[in-house]
Amino acid sequence: MQTIDEALEKLEKSDFRRKFKLDKNDIEYIKKNGFDKIRSHAADFVEKRLAPAYISNDGKQTPMRGHPVFKAQHGTACCCRGCLEKWYGVKKGKKLTKLQQEKIVNLIMAWIYKKTEGLL
C-alpha cells in the first residue's frame, strides 16, 4: 500500500496527470468556501460518482473543469473506476467501502493542498 506522498510522486511522472492545475477561479472558489467545504464536496462526488459497483457512464462521469475537486480527481487518477483500477488496483464491479472512499478523498485533498501552497 503506497502512501499519499508516494502516490502524488508517481502521478507527477505522468504527462497526462501532471497537466491538471488549479486556475485563478479555482483558487478563488477555495478561498471563498474553505477547505472543509471542498472536502465535503469531494466526499459527496466520490460517494455518488465513484463508489457504486457499476456506473453507467464510467470514464465520463467526472468533468474536466468546473470545480477544483474535478481537476483534482483527474490529477490523482480518481476520476473513474477504470483509473482507480489502473493506478491503485481497486477492482471494478464492487462498491467502494467507506475506508476506500475516505482514502480517495484524502488523496484528492492532498493534491489540492499541494496545488494551493503559497497561493492562499
DSSP conformation class of 96: P
Our CA dihedral for 4, 54, 68, 74, rounded to 10 degrees, sits at: 60
- Contacts for 55 with CB less than 8 Å, ≥ 6 apart: 49, 61, 80, 81
Which pTM does this prediction carry? Answer: 0.94
Spatial CB neighbours of 71, under 8 Å, sequence gap ≥ 6? 20, 21, 22, 26, 64, 65
Average pLDDT, stretch 19-24? 95
Q: Is 31 helix (H, G, I), strand (E, B) or coil?
A: helix
- Domain ranges in the chain are 4-116
Asked if 15 and 107 touch (Cβ cutoff 8 Å), the reply is no
Model pLDDT, residue 75? 97
25-38 residue pLDDT tens: 999 999 999 999 99
Q: Residue 1 above 70 pLDDT? A: no
In this predicted structure, the answer to whether residue 120 has a pLDDT above a threshold of 80 is: no
C-alpha cell at 112: 489540492
At 12-21, the pLDDT tens digits run: 999 999 999 9
Q: Exposed (0-12), middle (13-18) or buried (19+): which is 114, by Cβ within 10 Å?
A: middle
As a whole number, the mean pLDDT across the chain is 94
DSSP, collapsed to helix, strand or coil, labels residue 7 as helix
